[in-house]
């Protein structure tokens, strides 16, 4: 069997660590079900099969019955593909221990927190299977003879497994996750404590090792054809009162049953999930019908493509025709940040014709904007009334419960263990913008990771305290002055055109801080920085956010400057 580049054991361990985190806060599993999780040891991944070992037939049966569907869902969520768990029994314990295990699965957890059926025990006594087909053959033979041999590996009943797998793929939004209430679940807690009703107990420091991969290092990867961010799906969109209606309508449009909602306009302030919903619509529409032509585009990209098409004087007719063909053949057009088209007359005119062509052909159009269509500036009335002819929904800042749920999900997706009180701390303080909420969790995790410390409330408070030291109104000019001083540069260096490395870095940090510390739009920030385009500001913001995760130096610059700006008297 062909093996992937990753070590099968390592891959299994990575996948299982993430999947078990997801399962720990599943609503459909009882504490007893969750107790079985600690007795499962990941062994190896072969293709789309993950070999998991358990220590008893009872555990195997539990995994194949009550845990089966949630397990399939969790494996799919964390690995991005349908995976088949092959459950192997490794009897490496005395009959008495096993009896205890069967009576109370949660007790199978060893004192050091590792599952009782450890990988070491497995490798010492049992060779890692080299061919899952062979394992299934063995499994089936074991099922027939019904004898629990020391190494029994079974896939779930092939028919049931097939049905379950199909259900996950067909439904796409696995119900156990889509309806998941990520709140009120002791996500980071030990199943032992859960089973013993000790949910209120505070975790010890050792309980929360930090991931070597801090949050936020996952770069957004866009599909080259559709431009969709494949990880922005309905699965990863946490519903709450603030966005439930928008999410429901988006799902309807994605399913293709929302004819009256064309176009769908989603509006709301920055960082509240509009882009996420657009991508989720595109991704889900493609799951329902892979033959659809879906296109996600920001208004900036639309403009650039249009300008490019116009620019070649010799071929402009052909280029425009190609531009029109590209856009008018799409079945689902998702256009983001439409407000940036305001005032761009030629592009708006082109967009108007594209819109009409698609609308007349009953193709789906979804638009995201920071204001309701009627408040769009620099748009002709004819276009606004087209937008108004469909359905307009808004997304609002999430409530506390939703914020905590979002943080839990982000931590689970990034495979980091975060104590509940840290979730609460961050959710209490970041109320208006989910990007900032995510950023705070990223910062806390990054600090812990860089210092090789566990994430604790104390660490989180320390990391975030200076951020909230005062309610001082920070002006962009103060930011530029302070950053210039910090890097021994001048104000003019930062707003000027020089691109030497140190000036460019200082400028990007200043833009990042302006985005983080003021309520100014990207366009306005660009203006302050010498009339730069908003995409330059966005690029600077993304770059510094990413570098803060990777380079202590950059993180320290931003933190120190934040403190100075929040405490002007200390300068």
Ligand X SMILES: Nc1ncnc2c1ncn2[C@@H]1O[C@H](COP(=O)(O)OP(=O)(O)OP(=O)(O)O)[C@@H](O)[C@H]1O
Bridge partners for 550 per DSSP: none
- For 264, the 3-state DSSP assignment is strand
Residues that bind ligand X (CB under 6 A): 232, 236-238, 243, 268, 270-276, 337, 370, 406, 434-435, 438
Residues 277 and 356: their CA atoms lie apart, in Å, by: 23
Q: H or E stretch including 538?
A: helix 534-550
User: DSSP state, 339?
Assistant: G
Edge to edge, the sheet with strand 49-54 lists 41-46, 49-54, 84-90, 151-154
For residue 351, the minimal CB distance to ligand X (Å) is 18
For residue 229, the minimal CB distance to ligand X (Å) is 8
442 among annotated binding-site residues: no
Beta carbon nearer to ligand X, 34 or 276: 276
Beta carbon nearer to ligand X, 441 or 480: 441
Query: Which position's Cβ is nearest ligand X?
Result: 273
Beta carbon nearer to ligand X, 118 or 521: 521
For residue 370, the minimal CB distance to ligand X (Å) is 5
For residue 437, the minimal CB distance to ligand X (Å) is 7
Beta carbon nearer to ligand X, 109 or 408: 408
Beta carbon nearer to ligand X, 271 or 390: 271
For residue 542, the minimal CB distance to ligand X (Å) is 11
For residue 172, the minimal CB distance to ligand X (Å) is 17
Strand ranges for 278-399 from DSSP E: 294-298, 332-336, 364-369, 391-394
Residues 52 and 338: their CA atoms lie apart, in Å, by: 48
Alpha carbon 63 to its chain centroid, in Å, reads 27
Residues 378 and 499: their CA atoms lie apart, in Å, by: 33
Beta carbon nearer to ligand X, 494 or 540: 540
Bond into 263 cis (ω within 30): yes
Report CA-CA distances (Å) from 84 to 49, 64, 110, 161, 524.
5, 11, 27, 8, 51
- For 89, the 3-state DSSP assignment is strand
Query: What is the tally of helices (H) and strands (E) in the chain?
Result: 26, 9
Alpha carbon 350 to its chain centroid, in Å, reads 34
113 among annotated binding-site residues: no
Q: Specify whether the CB–CB gap between 245 and 347 falls below 8 A.
A: no
For residue 403, the minimal CB distance to ligand X (Å) is 10
273 among annotated binding-site residues: yes
Beta carbon nearer to ligand X, 207 or 236: 236
Residue 508 tokens read as 């990007």
Cite the annotated binding site for ATP by residue number: 271, 273-275
Cite the annotated binding site by residue number: 271, 273-275
């Amino acid at each position: 069997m062909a093996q992937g580049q990753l070590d099968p054991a390592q891959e299994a361990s990575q996948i299982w660590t993430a999947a078990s985190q997801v399962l720990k806060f599943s609503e459909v599993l009882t504490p007893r079900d969750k107790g079985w999780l600690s007795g499962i040891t990941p062994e190896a991944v072969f293709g789309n099969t993950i070999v998991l070992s358990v220590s008893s037939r009872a555990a195997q049966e539990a995994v194949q019955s009550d845990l089966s569907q949630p397990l399939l869902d969790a494996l799919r969520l964390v690995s991005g593909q349908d995976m088949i768990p092959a459950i192997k029994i490794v009897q490496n314990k005395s009959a008495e221990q096993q009896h205890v295990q069967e009576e109370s699965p949660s007790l199978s957890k060893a004192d050091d927190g590792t599952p009782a059926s450890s990988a070491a025990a497995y490798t010492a006594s049992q060779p890692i299977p080299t061919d899952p087909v062979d394992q299934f053959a063995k499994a089936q033979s074991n099922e027939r003879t019904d004898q629990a041999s020391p190494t029994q590996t079974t896939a779930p009943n092939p028919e049931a497994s097939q049905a379950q797998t199909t259900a996950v793929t067909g439904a796409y939004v696995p119900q156990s996750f889509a309806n998941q209430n990520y709140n009120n679940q002791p996500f980071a807690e030990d199943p032992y404590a859960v089973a013993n009703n000790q949910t209120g107990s505070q975790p010890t420091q050792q309980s929360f090792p930090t991931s070597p991969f801090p949050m936020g290092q996952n770069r957004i990867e866009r599909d080259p054809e559709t431009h969709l961010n494949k990880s922005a799906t309905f699965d990863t969109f946490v519903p709450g009162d603030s966005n439930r209606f928008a999410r429901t309508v988006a799902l309807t449009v994605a399913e293709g049953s929302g004819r009256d909602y064309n176009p769908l306009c989603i509006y709301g302030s920055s960082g509240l999930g509009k882009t996420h919903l657009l991508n989720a619509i595109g991704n889900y529409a493609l799951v329902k019908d892979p033959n659809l032509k879906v296109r996600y585009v920001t208004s900036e990209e639309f403009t650039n493509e249009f300008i490019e098409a116009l620019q070649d004087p010799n071929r402009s007719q052909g280029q425009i025709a190609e531009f029109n063909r590209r856009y008018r053949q799409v079945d689902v057009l998702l256009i983001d940040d439409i407000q940036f088209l305001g005032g761009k007359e030629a592009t708006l005119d082109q967009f108007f014709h594209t819109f009409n062509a698609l609308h007349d052909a009953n193709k789906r159009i979804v638009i995201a904007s920071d204001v309701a269509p009627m408040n769009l500036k620099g748009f002709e009335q004819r276009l606004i009334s087209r937008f108004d002819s469909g359905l307009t929904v808004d997304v609002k800042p999430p409530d506390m419960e939703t914020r905590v749920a979002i943080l839990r999900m982000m931590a689970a997706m990034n495979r980091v263990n975060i104590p509940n009180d840290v979730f609460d701390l961050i959710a209490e303080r970041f109320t208006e913008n989910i990007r900032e909420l995510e950023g705070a969790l990223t910062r806390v995790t990054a600090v812990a990771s860089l210092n090789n410390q566990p994430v604790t409330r104390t660490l989180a408070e320390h990391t975030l305290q200076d951020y909230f030291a005062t309610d001082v109104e920070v002006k962009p000019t103060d930011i530029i002055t302070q950053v210039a001083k910090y890097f021994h540069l001048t104000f003019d260096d930062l707003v000027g055109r020089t691109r030497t490395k140190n000036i460019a870095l200082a400028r990007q940090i200043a833009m990042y801080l302006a985005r983080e510390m003021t309520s100014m739009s990207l366009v306005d920030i660009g203006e302050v920085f010498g009339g730069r385009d908003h995409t330059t500001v966005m690029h600077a913001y993304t770059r510094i956010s990413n570098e803060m995760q990777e380079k202590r130096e950059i993180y320290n610059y931003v933190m120190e400057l934040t403190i100075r700006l929040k405490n002007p008297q200390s300068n």
